[in-house]
Amino acid sequence: MRASKNSNELRVMSEMHISGAEGIYEDSEISKVVKEYIKRALSHSRGKPGKIVLTIEEIKQMPKKISILPVTTLQCDYPDEAREIIYQKLLNIGISKKALDNAFRVLSSAKTMRGASLMDIKSGKRTEPDRERGIRVSRLGIEKSADKKLSLILSKSKINITTVKEALILASKATSCPDIVAEVCISDDPDYTTGYIASKKFGYLRIPNIKKQGEMHGGRVFFIKEDANIEKIINYLEKTPALVSNP
Interface contacts to ligand WAQ, rule CB under 6 A? 20, 22, 112-116, 134-137, 163-164, 167, 170, 185, 187-189, 192, 194-196, 206, 218-220
Compare residues 28 and 174 and give the one whose CB is closer to ligand WAQ.
174
- At residue 195, the 3 state secondary structure works out as strand
Runs of H (alpha helix) within 109-203: 144-156, 162-175
Give least dist CB 175 to ligand WAQ, A. Answer: 13
Give least dist CB 168 to ligand WAQ, A. Answer: 7
Q: Look up residue 194 and give its amino acid.
A: T
Q: CA dihedral in degrees (187, 188, 193, 196; nearest 10)?
A: 20
Compare residues 95 and 106 and give the one whose CB is closer to ligand WAQ.
106
Binding site for Mg ion (CB under 5 A): 188-189
Compare residues 22 and 143 and give the one whose CB is closer to ligand WAQ.
22
Give least dist CB 238 to ligand WAQ, A. Answer: 8
The residues with which 244 forms a beta bridge, in sequence order, are: 66, 142
The residues with which 220 forms a beta bridge, in sequence order, are: 116, 185
Give least dist CB 65 to ligand WAQ, A. Answer: 19
Compare residues 146 and 198 and give the one whose CB is closer to Mg ion.
198
Rounded-to-integer distance, Cα 197 and Cα 89, Å: 9
Rounded-to-integer distance, Cα 183 and Cα 103, Å: 10
Are the C-beta atoms of 133 and 115 separated by less than 8 Å?
yes
- Among Mg ion, ligand WAQ, none, partner that 203 touches (CB below 5 to 8 angstroms by kind): none
